[in-house]
Amino acid sequence: FRDLDIAFNMDIEVVDQCVEMGILQSKKERFESIIGRVSGLLELLKLSYTNEWNLEELLDDALTLVKSVANNTSNDLCLALNYAGRMQQLDCHLISYIILTGGSSADAAKIAIRMLVEDEYIISNAYITAIGAMIKYTESISSEDLQFDKAAVKSELFSMRSSVKKEFDEQSHHLKQKSLKKMMSLSFIAVGDDAIDEELSNVSTYECNRGDVTMENF
């Protein structure tokens, strides 16, 4: 716990210093900073550490940022991934938070249903998390309440999650290999405008499939 306390204090100091230096001025930078911290804290919850690091406040801050660009799609927060995608990123973490803190499976399922039904598309990682929430909700109620055959519903949900997870893992592997090759090639050649344009076209895929815990780019 001593190491975690030190890390927590350093985290606050680093963020405060970055704000003073003007590094975390854009909404995209602030959102990604918050999401990165939330991801790390969720990993601690998975390891059975207690929730003492104001996760709720961080999630609220992220929600405020996303809602602030709902009618301003030109904001930098929506350039790599649009409003719906950013909300899915946040909802994905919120579902994990509810489940890891012993919250209501019905509440987690409601968030999952919103993504699955209302959004025109859904990013892979959020889809997998949403289906997982639906599985937990299905397990928590009786067949009578579900009004369908419980075993059949669970089987279909597991099949859907497995199919997308396989595709997600393949995409992640491809992106990692591509990133490695690009890093090696950039060691020898300069990047032209065409390469930059091609990279921008793949930013959304990278944003959706990158790992949960990352070193923040200060």
Mean pLDDT of 22-27: 72
Q: What does pLDDT average to over the chain?
A: 80
- The C-alpha atoms of residue 43 and residue 37 are separated, in whole angstroms, by 10
CA gap 79, 86 in Å, rounded: 10
What is the predicted pLDDT for the residue at 115? 92
Burial of 153 (0-12, 13-18, 19+ CB in 10 A): middle
Q: Pick from 27, 38, 98: which is nearest to 64 by CA?
A: 27
Evaluate whether 30 touches 65 at the Cβ level (below 8 Å): yes
Q: Is the dihedral of CA 168, 174, 178, 181 positive or negative?
A: positive
Please state which of the ranges 31-40, 63-72, 167-176 shows the lowest mean pLDDT.
Answer: 167-176
Is residue 96 scored above 70 in pLDDT? Answer: yes
Q: How far out from the chain centre does Cα 124 lie?
A: 10
Question: Using CA atoms, how far apart are residues 36 and 31, in angstroms rounded to an integer?
Answer: 8
Is residue 81 packed enough to be buried (19+ CB in 10 Å), middle (13-18) or exposed (0-12)?
Answer: buried
The tokens 């719906």 sit on which residue? 84
For residue 106 the two structure tokens come to: 């019905």
Structural tokens at position 120: 């025109």
State how far Cα 157 lies from the chain centre: 21
Q: What is the rounded distance in angstroms from the CA atom of residue 165 to the CA atom of residue 183?
A: 27
List the one residue out of 41, 45, 35, 145 whose CA is nearest residue 85.
35
- 110-153 per-position pLDDT tens digit: 999 999 999 988 998 899 999 999 999 999 988 778 778 888 98
Cα distance between residue 185 and residue 207, in whole Å: 22
Burial of 122 (0-12, 13-18, 19+ CB in 10 A): buried
